[in-house]
Amino acid sequence: MMQAPELRLRFAPSPNGRLHLGHAYSALLNARIARTLGGKLLLRIEDIDLGRARPEFVAGILADLDWLGLRFDGPIRHQSEHFADYAAARDALAARDLIYPCFCSRGQIAAEVAARQARGAPVLRDPDGAPLYPGTCRALSADARRARIGQGEPHTWRLDMPAALRTLADPLLIRRFSPDDGAEETVSADPARWGDAVIVRRDVPTSYHLSVVCDDAVQGITHVVRGQDLEAATDLHALLQHLLHRPMPAYHHHGLIRAEDGEKLAKSKGSESLADLRARGVTAEDVRARLGFSRLC
């Protein structure tokens, strides 16, 4: 008989600031589920944003997680050490004409969207509220693309959504699991609502979407536990897993910890960090109890 794969989860913060209560909740929940279901918990540092990631933030993350009493299995994976892996995935998609270079600036895209609105044309938006890319560069010829790249023109790489969807012989499904007993169900994915999403950024040979799909496969992640703010992105990740022939983890998207005004906590909004709480005398036990994890995970 074939042995079931080892259950593996991951906590994957970005070192562009200090962790806050929302991160603590996600990390503690991952630890609880790993313990409940008899799996391992890995740590990944998602530091592809070289302009914002800093060594002191990595050190701060490790200190905060240690303060919370969390322990992780295996080596830490740093995304910034694996750009070659992501470039190989990009090249595999490009070889099948599933992505294309886009030379449009944000200003040009905004102008095109505004012009469409002025003509009375409907403007579709992705789940994050941004207007869908109008497909300006999708129609460029292969020769025009090569010439512009050869001239060093800055560009992103976008998923050719219509071409990607044509590779699906069956409806795309996402596996969801219960954090209590691991029971699974499948739900339909709708990646088309993301349009021709950016798969490779201008500044680095990857994106959040491409990196997490590659990393989850390399690390053997079987179960992904993350916030509801990333639930819609799972549709896009499921499509990339299909296109790159990567295994699909089961997903659970938990509720978000919010500030008193109802807004989600965020580093960019200056939400109080775990380091700030610690500095004013709050203990790890206080934090765990506040978040519903009285027992150490």
Instruction: Find the radius of gyration of the CA atoms of the chain.
Output: 21
Residues 120 and 210 placed together within one structural domain of the fold: yes
Euclidean distance between the first and final Cα of the chain, in Å?
Answer: 32
CA distance 274 to 63: 10
Residues 252 and 108 placed together within one structural domain of the fold: yes
Residues 236 and 264 placed together within one structural domain of the fold: no
Q: What size, in residues, is the chain?
A: 297
Residues 113 and 246 placed together within one structural domain of the fold: yes
**In Å, how far from its chain's centre is CA 109?**
23
Residues 91 and 213 placed together within one structural domain of the fold: yes
Q: Judging by beta carbons within 10 Å of its beta carbon (0-12, 13-18, 19+), is residue 192 exposed, middle or buried?
A: middle
Residues 21 and 104 placed together within one structural domain of the fold: no
SS3 of 183, please?
Answer: coil
Residues 275 and 212 placed together within one structural domain of the fold: no
Residue type, 70: L
Residues 276 and 165 placed together within one structural domain of the fold: no
Confidence check: pLDDT of 157 > 50? yes
Confidence check: pLDDT of 1 > 50? no
Can you give the residue range of the structural domain that contains 282?
A: 1-80+258-296
Strands 40-45, 8-11: pairing kind = parallel
Residues 151 and 249 placed together within one structural domain of the fold: yes
The lowest-confidence range among 42-46, 53-57, 149-153, 270-274 is 270-274
Confidence check: pLDDT of 18 > 80? yes
Residues 286 and 175 placed together within one structural domain of the fold: no
Helices (H), the chain: 21-37, 55-67, 83-95, 106-118, 142-150, 161-165, 208-218, 233-243, 274-279, 284-290
Q: Quote the pLDDT of residue 261.
A: 67
**Tens digits of residue pLDDT in 130-140:** 999 999 999 99
Mean pLDDT to the nearest integer, 29-42: 96
Q: Quote the pLDDT of residue 294.
A: 81
CA 157 to each of CA 56, 115, 126, 197, 210: distance values in angstroms, whole numbers, following the listed order: 31, 24, 17, 9, 11
Q: Residue 107 has which token pair?
A: 């200003």
Phi, then psi, of 53 in degrees rounded to 5: -70, 135
Residues 126 and 222 placed together within one structural domain of the fold: yes
Q: Quote the pLDDT of residue 269.
A: 67
Which of 49, 42, 63 minimizes the C-alpha distance to 15? Answer: 49
Confidence check: pLDDT of 297 > 80? no
**Tens digits of residue pLDDT in 88-112:** 999 999 999 999 999 999 999 999 8
Confidence check: pLDDT of 176 > 70? yes
Task: Assign 211 a pLDDT band (cuts: 50, 70, 90).
Answer: very high
Please check whether residue 256 is in contact with residue 227, taking contact to mean a CB–CB distance below 8 angstroms: yes
Total tally of structural domains belonging to the chain = 2
Q: Quote the pLDDT of residue 120.
A: 87
Only one residue has tokens 């690390």, namely 219
Residues 56 and 113 placed together within one structural domain of the fold: no
The lowest-confidence range among 40-44, 114-118, 154-158, 220-224 is 114-118
Q: What is the DSSP letter of 160?
A: -
Confidence check: pLDDT of 122 > 90? no
Q: Say which residue, 267 or 59, is predicted with more confidence.
A: 59
Task: Assign 296 a pLDDT band (cuts: 50, 70, 90).
Answer: low
CA distance 175 to 181: 14
CATH number for the domain harbouring residue 160: 3.40.50.620
